[in-house]
């Protein structure tokens, strides 16, 4: 029987779950002024062998320390508040997160649509990338271990398999050694994990099958397999799935690890491919030599500054030859100059937008500046990497635990002052019980890059879904938005590290 008060401070409210690994309780911490709710996991060693109790105790402490480190670095893993052992049993005290697991959500609502499932994958893959970078394999990804947080609809990863494995350490008497029982859920774990050799892509396999379960409503064991290849047959149970999304899931659940996505980042890029720019082509202009009474011919001229809104030139077939030659010469000149600008800037990934054309500087002038600038060791690729890291870091910077060290690593100058230093956004958020949550964050295109000595400027179009919360409630207004904008970043090499020194929004292209 569970005592009403654990460790002298945690009052049990109710049992949330019970199983072979132990029990999970909802409790409140009576020693905290807020009497905050928490989740307590009671973990029972599979064997009560005194020979291995100390070993299990040592491993449990190590795994608890690891959980604390993980939860402090990202807000999509429950925070670890405490751990203790009592009467031969071990306890973890974790953050209580209100919401439904994906399994419960499916049971309540039925099969989920592709848009929702894809968004879940996009938001949980960065969490897997984070834990894999710490050399940790979760080992028990399934619908009931991904919880959708009520406050912001973000997926949260729970119940790491490493602690469960520690609790199921057993002694092999004949070899005088220890081994651990395989951890995972049948159907959701791949063959190499069943054999006790999980790799990073094992988690991606489990995540792929979790997505298929949400789309089909069928557990993996219920799905037929191809008798020749062993591949799981599932698409007929999700008739509205798009071919591209189906192909991504098929790759994730390949039986051999080398045929899957090797990393979470690779799978995320497959779900969010970079936009491809349409190359600028020069149309052939054919003009009749004879006069005609037909109406003027309209020739569309795609411009490198405005592919979506091509300009037009009217060439009257009744013009004299010298007039036509003048117009044609002007047209060809435009394309020659535009082509030179395009090549010299070396940005084939530009997405051309008319809404930005009026706000850009003279392209010929930019090209000249770039060609005449002193040689710089800063590359466009390095600049993009820093911007990507900044976008990822904002999830931890502007929400608990307000990871200031990340901001210090990535910013300097005005960017540091506005975001990290005294009187900054981070300080205001922390002091006013406020924070941001981020959904989609994607770089759509690079519009301009100029580098000189130890400084660089890069203009980027990116899309971001940002929500502002205060006192746990979302606040609508300019701080909450889902938009695409053009931003100019100033970068600086500082002690050998490239940092953001300032940035400004040049234009908001669209709101969603």
- In the chain the first and final C-alpha atoms are separated, in Å, by 53
Tokens standing for 75? Answer: 């807000």
Which residue, chain included where needed, has tokens 């480190």? 69
DSSP state of 283: P
Q: Residue 217 — left, alpha, or beta (φ > 0 → left; ψ -120 to 50 → alpha)?
A: left
Give the active site residue among 72, 87, 140, 444: 140
Give CA separation, 231 vs 96, 250, 255, 270, in Å: 39, 9, 8, 21
Determine whether 140 is an active site residue: yes
d(CA 512, CA 510): 7
Phi (first) and psi of residue 329, to 5 degrees:
-60, -40
How far is Cα 192 from Cα 198, in angstroms, rounded to an integer? 6
Phi, psi (degrees; rounded to nearest 5) at 495: 55, 40
DSSP 279: P
Which parts of 151-218 fold into alpha helices (H)? 161-167, 191-194, 200-216
Residue whose tokens read 């090499």: 493
Q: Left (φ > 0), alpha (ψ -120 to 50) or beta: where does 313 sit?
A: beta
| Catalytic residue set | 140
């Amino acid at each position: 029987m569970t005592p009403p008060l654990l460790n002298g401070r945690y009052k049990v409210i109710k049992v949330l779950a019970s199983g072979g690994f132990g029990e999970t309780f909802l409790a409140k911490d009576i020693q905290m002024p807020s009497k905050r709710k928490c989740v307590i996991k009671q973990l029972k060693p599979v064997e009560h062998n005194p020979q291995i109790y100390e070993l299990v105790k040592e491993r449990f402490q190590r795994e608890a320390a690891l959980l604390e480190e993980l939860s402090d670095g990202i807000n999509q893993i429950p925070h670890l508040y405490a751990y203790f052992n009592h009467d031969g049993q071990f306890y973890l005290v974790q953050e209580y997160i209100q919401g439904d697991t994906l399994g419960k959500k499916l049971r309540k609502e039925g099969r989920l649509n592709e848009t929702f499932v894809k968004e879940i994958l996009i938001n949980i893959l960065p969490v897997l990338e984070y834990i894999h970078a710490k050399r940790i394999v979760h080992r028990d990804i399934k619908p009931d271990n991904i919880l959708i947080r009520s406050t912001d609809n973000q997926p949260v990863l729970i119940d790491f398999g490493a602690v469960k494995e520690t609790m199921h350490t057993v002694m092999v008497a004949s070899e005088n050694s220890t081994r651990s029982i395989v951890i995972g859920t049948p159907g959701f774990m791949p063959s190499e994990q069943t054999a006790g050799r999980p790799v990073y892509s094992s988690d991606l396999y489990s995540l792929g099958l979790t997505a298929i379960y949400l789309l089909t409503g069928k557990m993996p064991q219920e799905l037929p397999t191809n008798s020749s290849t062993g591949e799981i047959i599932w698409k007929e149970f999700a008739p509205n799935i798009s071919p591209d999304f189906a192909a991504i899931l098929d790759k994730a659940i390949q039986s051999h690890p080398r045929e899957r996505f090797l990393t979470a980042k690779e799978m995320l890029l497959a779900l969010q491919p970079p936009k491809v720019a349409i190359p600028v082509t020069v149309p052939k202009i054919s003009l009749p030599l004879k006069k005609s009474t037909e109406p003027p011919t309209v020739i569309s001229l795609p411009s490198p500054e405005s592919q979506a809104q091509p300009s037009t030139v009217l060439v009257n077939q009744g013009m004299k030859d010298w007039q036509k030659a003048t117009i044609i010469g002007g047209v060809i000149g435009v394309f020659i100059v535009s082509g030179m600008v395009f090549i010299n800037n070396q940005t084939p990934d530009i997405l051309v937008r008319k809404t930005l054309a009026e706000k850009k500087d003279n392209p010929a002038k930019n090209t000249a500046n770039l060609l005449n600038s002193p040689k710089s060791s800063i590359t466009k690729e390095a600049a993009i990497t820093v911007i990507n890291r900044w976008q990822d870091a904002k999830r931890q910077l502007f929400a608990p635990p307000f990871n200031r060290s990340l901001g210090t690593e990535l910013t300097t100058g005005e960017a540091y002052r506005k975001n990290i230093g005294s009187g900054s956004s981070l300080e205001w958020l922390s002091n006013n019980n406020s924070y941001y949550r981020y959904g989609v964050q994607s770089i759509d295109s690079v519009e301009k890059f100029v580098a000189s000595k130890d400084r660089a400027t890069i203009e980027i179009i990116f899309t971001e879904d940002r929500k502002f919360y205060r006192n746990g409630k979302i606040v609508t207004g300019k701080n909450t938005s889902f938009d695409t904008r053009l931003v100019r970043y100033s970068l600086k090499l500082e002690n050998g590290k490239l940092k953001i020194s300032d940035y400004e929004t040049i234009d908001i292209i669209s709101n969603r």
